[in-house]
């Protein structure tokens, strides 16, 4: 068991990622709470998604940066060593041939902090997810 020295919450795993206090309410607030070294990467990712799907609403859902229209389109979250991009199972299956450089599992694409952000791929995935969402209207 591990206790966070800041908020005193107890977790099974040592150094468990969590929020001390209130969850962020905006994507910029989410990014500001992350380690300074990775903030530029997160700002770049936010900008890529905003540019790809400007019609989508950027918000926080499930404690993560999220873009939605009718439903959730795409999310991301910061982990210890990577950024998890959550486009969903269908998107991961559709783009499978382009994801060999990344660890993928159950609709999640893990991008290591040491890897450059694949801007073109993220753009294609975000647009594809948006088109799937609006086709269900």
Averaged pLDDT, groups of 10, the chain, 137 residues long: 86 78 91 95 98 98 94 95 97 98 97 96 98 87
| pLDDT for the residue 23 | 86
- Cβ neighbourhood burial of 74 (10 Å; 0-12, 13-18, 19+): buried
CA-based nearest residue to 53, from 111, 137, 121, 131: 131
Question: Which neighbouring-strand residues pair with 112?
Answer: 82
| pLDDT for the residue 22 | 81
Provide CATH code, domain 22-134: 3.90.1150.200
Instruction: Write down the pTM of the prediction.
Output: 0.87
| pLDDT for the residue 7 | 86
| pLDDT for the residue 137 | 66
């Amino acid at each position: 068991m591990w206790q966070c020295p800041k908020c005193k919450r107890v977790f099974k795993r040592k150094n468990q990622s969590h929020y001390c206090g209130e969850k962020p309410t905006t994507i910029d607030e989410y990014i500001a709470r992350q380690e300074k070294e990775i903030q530029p990467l997160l700002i770049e990712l936010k900008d890529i998604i905003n540019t790809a799907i400007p019609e989508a609403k950027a918000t926080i859902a499930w404690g993560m940066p999220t873009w939605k229209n009718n439903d959730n389109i795409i999310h991301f979250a910061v982990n210890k060593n990577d950024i998890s991009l959550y486009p969903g199972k269908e998107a991961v299956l559709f783009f499978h041939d382009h994801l060999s450089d990344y660890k993928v599992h159950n609709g999640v694409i893990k991008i290591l902090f040491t890897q450059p952000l694949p801007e073109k791929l993220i753009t294609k995935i975000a647009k594809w997810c948006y088109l799937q969402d609006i086709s269900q209207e």
